A and B are shown apart, each in its own frame.
Chain A
Amino acid sequence: MNESPETANQKDKTKKLLLGLLVSNIVALSIIGLSNYLVSKILLDPEMDVGTTLVFSEFVIVPLIMGIISAWFWRDLGMKGKYYTGYSLINGLIVILLSYFFLSEGYICLIIVSPLVFGFVISGAFIGRAMFRKKNNTLNVSVFALLVFVFVTDSVSEHRYENMVSDTMVINAPTSEVWKHVVAYDRIKQENKYWLFKIGMPSPVQTTVDGFYEGAARKCIFSNGYVFDEKMVIYQPEKNLTFDITHQPKDPEIMGHIDILKGQFLLKDNGNGTTTLVGNSWYRLYVFPTWYYDIWAESITRNVHLRVMDHIKELSEHK
């Protein structure tokens, strides 16, 4: 039985829509898998930890390529902008779900990465839509080649980014009282205020120490039971507590994305019975571009500080 032209047309349209979603996701996963393999096994010293670094290209160029590929399949469908946006959102959602299952990313990470993925998949789709409208194959090949060149160059480049976050708080208690709660403190019972902690990101709950001297071990315990092992490298009572992070938990939310390197509490006697408490943390990022991820890293580190410092303030002021 022959099908009507409308039915055949509809089937063809559906096929192209699905191909746009399917092929772009297959290409994206293949590019990421292949580049990680080539970079870590062939192009660079295998002992270097470059393979686990998620570079700028993986969050910018790959979603752009995905959008352009889908636009190539959708180029004859006469779709309006609203539909390009809608189908590109589905495309972004698929790649995020695939990352959850195949790249074992944590859901907090995926929430953080999703604005970038959705944004660039949509940007790619609209760039592709404009490109394929012009029917200029030389331009199209040039744009694609440029994107591949940027991807390869970025993937084999060394990425290193470290930053420090500092927060200050005035506590209505003398330094002697504040110091008691800086080195170690009892379990934090206050409700979380920060939205990422509320939706399940682990927050600090307690700190314990093996002794009150330089070189002693310290443990920072998080709400999900994970423990950061620390070593106190500067121990100047009522002035300075600096500790190195010697071991951090293998949590999928942080593993391969950020290393907390060092922490510090500085106390300053204000001469009026109050103390200025400064909390500093140093970290190294393994996810790029930093103009995007450092906003999150700073925000999370700041809220870890504030949760601990608020607790120290409460304990010190209600002795």
Chain B
Amino acid sequence: MVNKLEFLRRVPLLPHLFDSWLRIWIFLSNPQLADCLDEIETEVSGWKGIKIQNHKYGGTEFSFNHKEIGHIHSNGLMDVLLNKTIKMQLLQEGRISNHHVFPNSGWISFYVKTKDDSEYALGLLKKSYAIRFERLSEE
């Protein structure tokens, strides 16, 4: 479904509009999830060097040193950039899945649905942050 509608992402502002509709849906139907997403954003915004902005395809993007570490769409779907080694380890845990558009990359997807999921999501973002932080230190 996502792959079939992928071309729509290129229509200017359409991904933002779609994400706003998701925000409304979650606000009305599942306000606890909206709280979880806000908590993730608040927590990550406190990490040194993290910048928060709108993602080009809708949602909230977290970047470190001008490079994206991950983003969350407003329905709780979070995409995080790791590396293939960590991705394989995490896939065995069974909570994450291959990225919904780029399955063969280092990106992973994870759905935040509960408070427990938001803790796990923070852990994933922390892993990505650590990878970028380490790379920056090496440079």
Which residues of A are interface residues toward B (Cβ below 8 A)? 60, 64, 80-82, 85-86, 89, 115-116, 118-120, 122-123, 126-127, 130, 133, 291
Give the chain A neighbours of B53 by CB distance below 8 A: 130, 133
A82 in contact with B35 (CB, 8 Å): yes
Q: Which A residue sits closest to B61, measured CB to CB?
A: A130
Instruction: Mark B32-75 against chain A: 1 for CB-CB distance below 8 A, else 0.
Output: 00110110011000000000111000001000000000000000
A85 in contact with B23 (CB, 8 Å): yes
Give the chain B neighbours of A120 by CB distance below 8 A: 13, 17, 20
Within the complex, the shortest CB–CB distance from B124 to chain A, in Å, comes to: 19
Give the chain B neighbours of A86 by CB distance below 8 A: 27
Give the chain B neighbours of A85 by CB distance below 8 A: 23-24, 27, 34
Instruction: Select which of B16, B21, B34, B35 is within 8 A of A127 by beta carbon.
Output: B16
Give the chain B neighbours of A60 by CB distance below 8 A: 13
B60 in contact with A123 (CB, 8 Å): no
| B11 interface residue per 8 A CB criterion | yes
Given A120-B17, A127-B16, A133-B52, does the pair A81, B24 have CB atoms closer than 8 Å?
no
Within the complex, the shortest CB–CB distance from B65 to chain A, in Å, comes to: 16
Within the complex, the shortest CB–CB distance from A31 to chain B, in Å, comes to: 18
Main SS of chain A's interface residues? helix
Within the complex, the shortest CB–CB distance from A1 to chain B, in Å, comes to: 36
B54 in contact with A80 (CB, 8 Å): no
Within the complex, the shortest CB–CB distance from A84 to chain B, in Å, comes to: 9
Within the complex, the shortest CB–CB distance from B35 to chain A, in Å, comes to: 6
A119 in contact with B38 (CB, 8 Å): no
How many residue pairs link A and B with beta carbons under 8 A? The number is 57
Given A130-B52, A130-B54, does the pair A115, B31 have CB atoms closer than 8 Å?
no
B20 in contact with A118 (CB, 8 Å): yes
Give the chain B neighbours of A126 by CB distance below 8 A: 16, 20, 23, 54
A81 in contact with B52 (CB, 8 Å): no
B11 in contact with A115 (CB, 8 Å): no
A120–B18 Cα distance when bound, in Å, is: 9
Q: Known pairs A119-B20, A126-B16, A126-B20; list 13 more (Cβ under 8 Å).
A: A64-B13, A80-B38, A81-B37, A81-B38, A85-B24, A85-B27, A118-B20, A119-B17, A119-B18, A123-B17, A126-B54, A127-B54, A130-B52
18 example contacts (A-B, Cβ-Cβ < 8 A) are as follows: A60-B13, A64-B13, A80-B42, A82-B27, A82-B31, A82-B35, A85-B23, A86-B27, A89-B24, A89-B27, A118-B24, A119-B18, A119-B21, A120-B13, A123-B19, A123-B20, A127-B16, A291-B11
A80–B52 Cα distance when bound, in Å, is: 13
A15–B120 Cα distance when bound, in Å, is: 38
A291–B12 Cα distance when bound, in Å, is: 12
A127–B56 Cα distance when bound, in Å, is: 11
A172–B53 Cα distance when bound, in Å, is: 60
A127–B16 Cα distance when bound, in Å, is: 9
Give the chain A neighbours of B54 by CB distance below 8 A: 126-127, 130
A64–B60 Cα distance when bound, in Å, is: 17
A271–B42 Cα distance when bound, in Å, is: 71
